Chain A
Amino acid sequence: MEATHPDIVILLLSISVMLFAAKVFGEIFIKLHQPAIIGEILAGIILGPTVLGTISPDIFYFLFPPQGSTNNALTGLINISVVLLLLISGMEVDFNVVLKNSSKALVISCFGIIIPFVIGFLMAWFFPVTLGISEINNKLIFALFIGTALSISALPVIAKTLMDLNIYKMDIGMMIISSAMINDLIGWLVFSVILGMMGNNSSHFNFLEILLFIILFFIILFVFLRRIIDQTVNYIQEKWSFPGSILNFILVLGIAGAAYTQYIGIHAVLGAFLVGIAIGEAPSLNQKVRETLNQFVSNIFAPLFFVSIGLGVNFIQNFNLGLVLIILLISIIGKVAGSYLGAKISGVDSTDSAIIGLGLNSRGTMEIILGLLALQVGIITDQVFVALVIMALVTSLISAPLMNILLSKRNLSDINSLINKKNIKISNAKTKEDAIDELCEVIANSHKLDKNEIKKAILERENMIPTGIANYLALPHCRYDKLQKPALAIAINKNGVDFKSADETPAKFIFLLVTPENKNELQLQLLADIVSKFQNREAIESILKLNDINKIEAELRKL
């Protein structure tokens, strides 16, 4: 079919309307501190049959003709958008880091996948009609899909939530991120297998062949091409025009990978996703390139895709409250409980496990893409799709506030949580040894440890190099093998004790820190945190005037 002059005008017009609406609504949601994709989907619902199509069908059909060359072109563009979206998603799945550093994340994500998967599968298997399927011959595929749909989570939403909550770099943040990465990877692989089982008519291969081709692709990409990709990336970045050439290289590779998986009969997204991982793994890849590509796709292609969701489906006609509630309920229960259990099993305490469960509950973008693909190949109905979209949005919306509530109850390994009035002492000690003795006693009592052992370790360290820092701060510290979590005791000594600090001030704030033997980095982190607190001399001197322990505690935290 040849595109006529007016067809092209309409296509361009509809793209510009979609992008504009997506930006306006997206930005409103950003201002409300909510994910932009909610706004973008809302924009699609308004432009689509749900609102515009009902109020003014003429304008709706003019802008978005249901068939013809404009429609074909737009569909093509949206397909490319999804491919690119999966390409950049893959690029942030850093499973090298995950596998090398975190066996806990592996356990957490396994439980976070298996439990919702089983719940979803069983629900769909035993109550297919409740979940909106009447055709019994598709039951296995449908049940497998519902299982997968409930078990996937969305890295971008999760990463952003952690960043906003300021827990990204903490242990718990890294556990959530690593688990989400594994989750994404497994989710997409399982989904591809389901698509393969569908026995796509256009495919030349049977299921086993498809499976074989995918495994082959995986091995070639991650075993043989890994080094070559890295070296090529390095070469292009250094020798060719920057960043144009490297962006081109990534797109060429990503789209070629997409073409391959589409050809063997799965879906283009899987190829793009896997190539994305392989490129993202390349240590040479410049951070600027990552940022540029992410912005390019997230601000141009992703909005087109999310708006298009609302264009295809009437959200009011297909809204089935019962179905929405069931899907919402089983997805949240499955995911939160599964991840919680995984975290508990790997030795994380209850509060943290709950935070991890809630953190991984966000489904966001991934769920919607998954849902749309399933809708396109006819695994699910419009009603189920609408329910999945709503579930994706609701889970993304609720996770941050709920996590925040739990975070406030949590004992962070952060220095402020270690500053506790029970461990603050107003001291009159005259010598360094007396000051250390007092504080060792505080820690020994509060953590039920042997005071003499701690004192010995502290003095040994102190004799090596004195720990007087500057601005009235001294930081005696040691590592101790009978301790699981760091312990801190603080003495405020108005007369000051000599700890041989660099600026020759007497130590008036003595922070005695004992950390677990094997956690080198934690010790450095805490010491660095304390030192960075003691920069503003005026604020420090004003604390010395206080007598009330409660106030001292509050001010020390504020520093």
Chain B
Amino acid sequence: MEIGFQKIALAFNFTPTSKDLLQEALRIQKLFSSRLYLIHIGKDDENYKKMLNDVLKEMKLKENDYELIWSDGDPATEIIKTCSEQEIELLLAGALEKENIIKFYIGSVARKLMKYSPCSILIYKIPIIIKPFRKIFVSIDYSPLGEKAMQIAYQLAIKEGNPSLDVVREFYIPGLTATLQDSGDVGQLEDMIEKATKEEEEKTRVFLNELNLQNINIDIHCIYGKEKRAERNFVDENSPDLYIIPSKIKKPTLWERFLPMETEHIFEDLPSNILIVR
């Protein structure tokens, strides 16, 4: 079974990076033979049209190669709406590496998209480096969404011609250190974590076997920690070209504000280009 992206969309504006983004979008479009949608939020004025035409001409894009959608309103809301209406499967957008106050507005659009986009979303770290995703890390859990993330990572790695793929699985045993308070010793505790890590690796291996991913070398990293923090540190150390994580959309209920979603800190300061699978 091949999971791919039939329809991809690029959130397009006229910042200095938009040409790079467009070029990347075209690259991804080729990989998956998808249909490309360009979503631009802003007033439909002549000036913009001319700028856009210039860019598209420069990229040697013909009119049949893409579909252009103009919309006016709050950028994040409009992009999300368009993605739902057009049944987009993958949305591409750029994000600033670290936001300062002046850049906050643009950055916050990316952050909203990451949280609430109805489809999978690929966020590029800026400045964009146009090159294949050679080193891909994928975070998994054993849910159906985790399977989907793994399938996508696999497809992408194969299409990019990569010989290998890194799978990261974070796990945690709550309250374990409390045993030290009652005559437990560190050796026993660490043995247990080590044993649990081995078990987790075996589980991950079985999980991957079930997916039947052939012709690729998969490295498994099981990491003890919680809420993707330890995983995040591991990813930072290895600086991949793309980091894929499964993450559902969550509506911010009162409860959510109290207990923010676990991957949120990843969205705040991107470790690399990131593909959120949903």
A residues adjacent to B (C-beta < 8 A): 26, 29-30, 35-37, 85, 88-89, 91-94, 96-100, 154-157, 159-160, 163, 168-169, 174, 177-178, 180-181, 222-223, 226-227, 230, 234, 283-284, 287, 290-291, 294-295, 297-298, 302, 364-365, 464-465, 520-521, 524-525, 527-528, 531-532
A178 and B182: CB pair below 8 A?
A: no
Q: Are A94 and B180 in contact (CB under 8 A)?
A: no
Q: Is B175 touching A155 in the complex (CB atoms < 8 A)? A: yes
A162 (CB) vs chain B CBs: closest residue: B179
Q: Which residues of A contact B182 (CB under 8 A)?
A: 35-37, 154, 156-157, 159-160, 298, 364-365
Query: Residue of B at shortest CB range from A233?
Result: B229
Q: Find chain B residues with CB under 8 A from A174 CB.
A: 174
Determine whether B205 belongs to the interface, using a CB cutoff of 8 Å to chain A.
yes
- Count the B residues whose beta carbon is within 8 Å of the partner chain — how many? 44
Say yes or no: A284-B229 contact (C-beta < 8 A), given A30-B183, A155-B175.
yes
Q: Which of B172, B182, B212: most chain A CB closer than 10 A?
A: B182
The residue on A at minimum CB distance from B214 is: A465
**Is the pair A291, B180 in contact by a Cβ cutoff of 8 Å?**
yes
| A524 engages B207 (CB within 8 Å) | yes
Report yes or no: B181 in contact with A89, Cβ–Cβ below 8 A.
Answer: yes
Interchain CA distance A30-B192 in the complex, whole Å: 18
How far is the CB of B71 from the nearest CB of chain A, in Å? 33
The answer, among A26, A30, A88, A178, for a CB contact under 8 Å with B181, is: A88
Residues of B within 8 A of A521 (CB): 142, 203
Known contacts being A169-B196, A464-B212, A524-B206, is A291 close to B178, with CB within 8 Å? no
- Whether A181 and B177, one on each chain, are in contact in the complex, defined by CB atoms closer than 8 angstroms, is no
Tell me whether A294 and B181 are in contact (CB under 8 A). Answer: yes
Which single member of A29, A92, A520 contacts B143 (CB below 8 Å)?
A520
- Contact present for B183 and A465 (CB under 8 Å): no
Residue B251 CB within 8 A of the other chain: no
Cα distance A297–B180 in the bound complex, in angstroms = 10
CB of B184 within 8 A of CB of A92, answer: no
Let me know if A29 and B183 touch, CB within 8 A: yes
Contact B175 A465 (CB under 8 A): no
User: What's the Cα separation between A226 and B175 when bound, in Å?
Assistant: 19
> Closest chain B residue to A469 by CB distance?
B209
Closest to B205 in A: A528
- Whether the Cβ atoms of A94 and B175 lie closer than 8 Å is yes
Shortest CB distance A81–B (Å): 13
Assembled-state Cα–Cα distance A26/B179 (Å): 15
A485 smallest CB distance to B (angstroms): 19
Residue of B179, B196, B257 contacting most chain A CB atoms (<10 Å) = B179
Instruction: Judge whether A283 and B178 touch: CB under 8 Å.
Output: no
B227 touches A283 (CB 8 A): yes
For the complex, is B69 an interface residue (Cβ under 8 Å from A)? no
Q: In the complex, what's the smallest C-beta–C-beta distance from B3 to chain A, in angstroms?
A: 15
Q: A88 CA to B174 CA in the complex, in Å?
A: 14
B225 at the interface (CB under 8 A from A): yes
Provide the residues of chain A in CB contact with B224, threshold 8 Å: 287
Q: Find out whether the CB atom of A168 lies under 8 angstroms from the CB atom of B203.
A: no
Q: Write the chain A residue with the least CB distance to B226.
A: A283
Contacting pair B183 A283 (CB below 8 A):
no
Within 8 A of A (CB), among B138-187: 142-144, 172-184, 186
Do the beta carbons of B174 and A302 come within 8 Å of each other?
no
B175/A298 in contact, CB under 8 A? no
Provide the bound-state CA to CA distance between A294 and B260, in Å. Answer: 27
